[in-house]
Amino acid sequence: MKLSKPQTAVAQDNTRFKILVSGRRFGKTTLAIRELCYHARHPNTLCWFVAPSYRQARQIAWMKLKKKLSELRWVKKFNEADLTCLLKNGSIISLRGADNPDSLRGVGINYLVIDEAADVSEQSWTEVLRPTLSDTKGKALFTGTPKGHNWFYDLYQKGKDPAEKEWSSHLYTTAEGGWVDEDEIQQAKNDLSKSVFRQEYEATWETYSGLIYSSFDREHSVRHSTITEDDKILYVGIDFNVSPISAIVAVIRNNVIDIVDEIRIFGSDTQELCDEILNRYPNKKIMAFPDPSCVQRRTSAGGKTDLSILQNNGFVCKVLKSHMAVRDRINSVNSKLCNANELRTLFISPRCKSTINTFVKQTYKEGTSVPNKTNGIDHLGDAVGYLVSYLYPIKRDVQHTPQKRFNVQLEGTYGRL
């Protein structure tokens, strides 16, 4: 099949699991059919094309697949009812829909295409389709256009991770695909909103539901940083939660914060968190910025406070007398991520994957300014917030409430930290 240069690059990638993220009309279906035929050339192989629904599978690929196989003269029999092609060499190519996951169980697949993966449930992959590749050591191609920061986004990031040797990711815009002319793309710009055009034609990951950390930009906010001998003090933000108790570890140089490590321990307590921090960084002074609730005595801690446990482990604790307004804490973090002058003074190491995940995904509850905590990704964001909002609170020129006045008074202590 005739392929464009980007399609050829994907086809020639021999990685076991490939993710192709692209703009509309890139030619994903053409590439998918080529890959299905390429792998089905081996006798007695089973190849599947899975779309979000059975109806979509028929509409997207059935006619194109039949046409190509007929041109090749490979076909022994077409089964229209089952959307299955039996080839002369004993191989089978079948089209399936992920809307009925139970119908996908119980087979061993040699090659799998999941089309429009963003519209397929994660469970269909992890619980149903992934096991079908295990005994055959089968390969898979995931294709689609971005649709928010869902599991398809996570797969794309996995494919970009050098440590994931069996995964690779490719991203191309509609224009790079070469099948849509410039006039049509310009017309689409006139017809679509900016965010929709970016998503559908430029293959960017857009979020449409009140992203909390709106100043975060993976390209600019994530950078490598390490702890050096000159870093005598480590700054640790802590969110107390039984499962997981969470903390971030940072270094601060010239008012620039680099988050270099994260800690999440499930079913744990404050003492175990202290032990973990001290084991990782035995020769550093720890400056802790805990949740203000740390001053409360806990029955689970033998009547001790989390604050006293931190202090008994040698941590220097900086804590507000009461919680800052959530909005102000979030604004403090966003301001450090990127202020109105496009200055970025908060960065995250790529090793801190859960923290990055929080910044990418956490949203407000629909129609409110209340952070959504139902998905459990908020704890590391809170840990970052306690550190940043203490050291770099949003300054106001209006009359302060007692809480805000207390925050302002703390500004003079920064030099003594």
Query: Stretch 296-322: mean pLDDT, rounded?
Result: 83
Q: Is the pLDDT of residue 328 over 70?
A: yes
- State the distance between the two ends of the chain, measured CA to CA, in whole angstroms: 65
> Is the full-model pTM beyond 0.75?
no
The rounded mean pLDDT for the chain is 87
Contacts of range 26-30, beta carbons closer than 8 Å, 24 or more positions apart: 26/172, 26/173, 26/174, 26/176, 26/177, 26/179, 27/3, 27/177, 27/179, 28/115, 28/143, 28/144, 29/60, 29/61, 29/64, 29/115, 30/1, 30/3, 30/64
283 and 141 share one domain: no
Burial category of 304 from C-beta neighbours within 10 Å (exposed 0-12, middle 13-18, buried 19 and up) = middle
% residues pLDDT > 70 (the chain): 90
Q: What is the pLDDT of residue 416?
A: 35
Structural domain includes residue 398? yes
Q: Are strands 245-253 and 233-239 parallel, antiparallel or unpaired?
A: antiparallel
Q: How far apart are CA 149 and CA 154, in angstroms?
A: 7
Q: What is the pLDDT of residue 414?
A: 33
Of residues 274 and 396, which shows the higher confidence score?
Answer: 274
Structural domain includes residue 72? yes
Q: How far apart are CA 311 and CA 22, in angstroms?
A: 52
**pLDDT band at residue 371 under the 50/70/90 scheme:** confident
Span 266-297, pLDDT tens digits:
988 999 999 999 999 998 999 999 999 888 86
Report DSSP letters for 351-390, one per residue: T-HHHHHHHHH-BBPTTSSSBP-TTS--HHHHHHHHHHHH
Structural domain includes residue 360? yes
Query: Stretch 355-365: mean pLDDT, rounded?
Result: 90
Three-class secondary structure of residue 405 per DSSP: helix
Q: What interhelical angle do 28-40 and 63-72 show, nearest 10?
A: 40
Query: Any idea what the CATH number is for the domain that residue 368 is in?
Result: 3.30.420.280
**pLDDT band at residue 79 under the 50/70/90 scheme:** very high
Q: What's the chain's Rg over C-alpha atoms?
A: 26
Question: Which tokens hold the place of 411?
Answer: 């500004």
Q: Are strands 84-87 and 92-97 parallel, antiparallel or unpaired?
A: antiparallel
Q: What is the pLDDT of residue 221?
A: 96
Q: What is the pLDDT of residue 401?
A: 37
Question: Which tokens hold the place of 284?
Answer: 């550093």
Structural domain includes residue 337? yes
244 and 316 share one domain: yes
Final residue of a structural domain among 179, 202, 225: 202
**pLDDT band at residue 354 under the 50/70/90 scheme:** very high
Q: What is the pLDDT of residue 208?
A: 62
Indicate if the alpha-carbon torsion angle 69, 70, 75, 78 is positive or negative: positive
**What are the φ/ψ torsions at residue 219 (nearest 5 degrees)?**
-65, -35
Beta strands in 284-355 (DSSP E): 285-290, 316-317, 346-348
Least confident of 204-218, 222-236, 312-326: 204-218
Number of domains in the chain: 2
% residues pLDDT > 90 (the chain): 61
Q: What is the pLDDT of residue 356?
A: 95
Q: How would you classify residue 179: left for phi > 0, otherwise alpha for psi between -120 and 50, otherwise beta?
A: alpha
Structural domain includes residue 227? no
Burial category of 412 from C-beta neighbours within 10 Å (exposed 0-12, middle 13-18, buried 19 and up) = exposed
Query: Any idea what the CATH number is for the domain that residue 17 is in?
Result: 3.40.50.300
The boundaries of the domain holding residue 244 are: 233-416
262 and 198 share one domain: no
**pLDDT band at residue 193 under the 50/70/90 scheme:** low
Beta strands in 80-172 (DSSP E): 84-87, 92-97, 111-114, 139-144, 167-172
Nearest to 329 by CA among 213, 246, 224, 409: 213
Span 248-273, pLDDT tens digits:
999 999 999 999 999 999 988 999 99
Of residues 209 and 246, which shows the higher confidence score?
Answer: 246
